[in-house]
Amino acid sequence: MKTKKWLTSGIVSTLALAFVLTGCGKSSTEGAAASPAGSPAAAAASGTGPESLKSKGKLVVGVKYDTKLFGLKNPTNNEVEGFDVDIAKALAKELLGDEKKIELKEVTSKTRIPMLDNKEIDMIVATMTINEERKKQVDFSDVYFKAGQSLLVKKGSAIKGIADVKKGTKVLAVKGATSVANIKAKAPEATVLEFDNYQDAFSALKAGQGDTLTTDNAILYGMVAQDNKFEVVNEPPFTDEPYGIAIKKGETALVTAVNDALKKLQSNGEYNKIYEKWIGKAPSK
Ligand code: GLU
């Protein structure tokens, strides 16, 4: 099995993870017990979570359409494809018994929380970092993927790492992403240009409108898969970006059901299959 050095490097998490991944996509702590309060019976009794999904008959999930490897609309068949999309389908199967009982809706980094708030979607599975600020707005599942912020440059660029991002450097990023505040903190003198989505930001980099594009390494490796004239620099990453599935605040029964489903996907090998399909074959430098 291929090891992705870029997935694990530099990651330190304080979260109590039942679902920590190694570079091979294996669990370090299998078999964590579900809390009794969050049992399926409790969820059913509360009338929230999976029970309300069952009456609706489908799971409506916000995914990216602009992020290769995680959620990208394939122009040849109009299918939205990627790691997050397959995780979302696997959750539909666990929660509703059929992976086809799903409706995918496009979110961007900026629109995902408002769409959850408006109940346009039941959950967000979209490269979304768990952090304290967001926890005030949404509830999160356990971590299901770990990334960290890096830089994408044209091969041969003078930028080899974050220390080369300084006054006069034009950095491209996406609105609503953690990457914006992170780069401003790490390189306060640089100029940050913000785009609505990752494909627009990547097009701008290709057109020479910026010196580097910054976001999670996992997303940047997806861009390298699209055009190998570009490369990821600054490994290990300069932040930790643990991904969680975001659910409307207070929907604790649904959070528990999703966590139980994630554990099951991990123990029955389904998670590893999805991981290998998307991440195992991705570029690693
Ligand atoms: N994981 C980061 C975030 O949640 C960057 C990727 C994204 O924009 O979704 O903001």
Residue 15 lies in a domain: no
Summarize pLDDT for 108-163 with one digit per residue, the tens. 999 999 999 999 999 999 999 999 999 999 999 999 999 999 999 999 999 999 99
pLDDT over 50 at 8, yes or no: no
Residue 73 lies in a domain: yes
Tell me, yes or no, whether 131 and 250 share the same domain.
yes
The residue among 25 and 202 whose pLDDT is bigger is 202
Q: What is the mean pLDDT of the chain?
A: 87
Q: Which of 42-56, 68-82, 199-213, 234-248 has the lowest mean pLDDT?
A: 42-56
Tell me, yes or no, whether 248 and 132 share the same domain.
yes
Q: Which residues line ligand 1 (CB under 6 A)?
A: 109, 126-129, 174, 177-179, 215-216, 219, 241
Tell me, yes or no, whether 142 and 262 share the same domain.
yes
Residue 283 lies in a domain: no
Residue 62 lies in a domain: yes
> In this predicted structure, what is the pLDDT of residue 159?
97
> In this predicted structure, what is the pLDDT of residue 254?
96
pLDDT over 70 at 42, yes or no: no
Whether the CA torsion 179, 80, 104, 279 is positive or negative: it is negative
> In this predicted structure, what is the pLDDT of residue 5?
55
Tell me, yes or no, whether 255 and 136 share the same domain.
yes
Tell me, yes or no, whether 168 and 213 share the same domain.
yes
Whether the CA torsion 248, 251, 254, 260 is positive or negative: it is positive
Share of the chain above pLDDT 70, in %: 83
Tell me, yes or no, whether 59 and 190 share the same domain.
no
Expressed in angstroms and rounded, the spacing between residue 56 Cα and the centre of ligand 1 is: 29
Residue 54 lies in a domain: yes
Tell me the CATH number at 224: 3.40.190.10
Residue 181 lies in a domain: yes
Tell me, yes or no, whether 139 and 173 share the same domain.
no
What is the domain range of residue 139? Answer: 44-146+242-278
Residue 94 lies in a domain: yes
Tell me, yes or no, whether 136 and 221 share the same domain.
no
Tell me, yes or no, whether 188 and 224 share the same domain.
yes
Atom index in ligand 1 nearest the CA of residue 134 equals 4
Residue 2 lies in a domain: no
Expressed in angstroms and rounded, the spacing between residue 127 Cα and the centre of ligand 1 is: 5
Tell me, yes or no, whether 215 and 250 share the same domain.
no
| b/e sequence 101-124, b meaning 16+ C-beta within 10 Å | bbebbbbbbebbbebbeeeebbbb
Q: By C-alpha distance, which of 112, 101, 115, 155 is closest to 243?
A: 112
Summarize pLDDT for 170-224 with one digit per residue, the tens. 999 999 999 999 999 999 999 999 999 999 999 999 999 999 999 999 999 999 9
Tell me, yes or no, whether 169 and 56 share the same domain.
no
* Number of domains composing the chain: 2
Residue of 107, 128, 140, 144 best suited for mutating to test ligand 1, as the one with most atoms within 8 Å of CB: 128
Tell me, yes or no, whether 139 and 253 share the same domain.
yes
